[in-house]
Amino acid sequence: MRLATPSGFATEVFLLEKPDRDLLPEGPWTLVGDQRLRDAWTGADMPEPADALWVAVPEEEKKLRTLIPWLEHWARVPLHRDATVVALGGGVLTDLTGLAASLYLRGVAWQVWPTTLLAMADAALGGKTGADLAAGKNLVGAFHPPRRLVACTDLLATLPERQLHNGRWELIKTALILGEMAWAMEMLQDGPVKFGWIERSLAYKAGVVHRDPRESGERRLLNLGHTLGHALEAASGYQLLHGEAVGLGLLGSCLLAEEQGLKPFPASLLEPLARRLAPLAALVAPWRDCLPLLARDKKARRAPGHTDDKPATEIQCILPRPGEPAVQRTLPPEAWESSHAKILALLHQETARA
| Residue 223: active-site member | yes
List 226, 276, 296, 342, catalytic entry:
226
Q: Are 294 and 234 in contact (CB under 8 A)?
A: no
The nearer residue to ligand NAD, 96 or 262, going by C-beta atoms, is 96
DSSP state of 335: H
Cβ of residue 76: shortest distance to ligand NAD, in angstroms?
A: 25
- Does residue 153 bind ligand NAD (CB under 6 A)? no
Cβ of residue 286: shortest distance to ligand NAD, in angstroms?
A: 23
| Residue 306: active-site member | no
- Does residue 173 bind ligand NAD (CB under 6 A)? no
| Residue 205: active-site member | yes
Task: Return the exposure string of 77-99: e unless at least 16 CB atoms fall within 10 Å of the residue's CB, then b.
Answer: eebeeebbbbbbbbbbbbbbbbb
Cβ neighbours of residue 251 closer than 8 Å, sequence gap 6 or more? 270, 273, 274, 277, 343, 346
Distance CA 219, CA 105 (A): 29
Amino acid (one-letter) located at 40: A
- Does residue 128 bind ligand NAD (CB under 6 A)? yes
User: Phi, psi at residue 316, to the nearest 5°?
Assistant: -70, 125
Window of 89-97, 194-202, 268-276, 300-308 that interacts with ligand NAD by CB under 6 A: 89-97
- Does residue 159 bind ligand NAD (CB under 6 A)? yes
Q: Using CB under 6 A, which of 59, 186, 258, 289 touches ligand NAD?
A: 59
Window of 20-28, 31-39, 75-83, 293-301 that interacts with ligand NAD by CB under 6 A: 31-39
Q: Are 77 and 51 in contact (CB under 8 A)?
A: yes
The nearer residue to ligand NAD, 159 or 273, going by C-beta atoms, is 159
Q: Using CB under 6 A, which of 19, 126, 146, 320 touches ligand NAD?
A: 126
| Residue 242: active-site member | yes
- Does residue 36 bind ligand NAD (CB under 6 A)? yes
- Does residue 249 bind ligand NAD (CB under 6 A)? no
DSSP 238-267: T-S-HHHHHHHHHHHHHHHHHHTTSPPPPH
- Does residue 118 bind ligand NAD (CB under 6 A)? yes
Q: Using CB under 6 A, which of 24, 31, 37, 209 touches ligand NAD?
A: 37
CA dihedral 344→179→92→234, nearest 10 degrees, is: -30
Task: Taking the CA atoms of 216, 217, 221 and 227 in sequence, report the sign of the dihedral they define.
Answer: positive
List 144, 165, 166, 223, catalytic entry:
223
DSSP 11-31: SEEEEESS--GGGS-SSSEEE
Amino acid (one-letter) located at 207: G
Q: Using CB under 6 A, which of 101, 109, 112, 155 touches ligand NAD?
A: 155
Window of 67-75, 151-159, 190-198, 210-218 that interacts with ligand NAD by CB under 6 A: 151-159
- Does residue 34 bind ligand NAD (CB under 6 A)? yes
Q: Are 16 and 71 in contact (CB under 8 A)?
A: no
Amino acid (one-letter) located at 72: E
Q: Using CB under 6 A, which of 91, 145, 229, 252 touches ligand NAD?
A: 91
The nearer residue to ligand NAD, 15 or 93, going by C-beta atoms, is 93
Give the Cα-Cα-Cα angle 260, 168, 279 (nearest 5 degrees). Answer: 75
Q: Using CB under 6 A, which of 11, 41, 70, 90 touches ligand NAD?
A: 90
DSSP 116-147: SHHIIIIITSSSEEEEEETTEEEEEEEE---S
Positions touching ligand NAD (CB under 6 A) are: 34, 36-37, 59, 62, 89-93, 95, 115-116, 118-119, 122-123, 126, 128, 137-138, 155-156, 158-159, 163, 166, 242-243
Catalytic residues: 106, 128, 170, 205, 215, 219, 223, 226, 230, 242
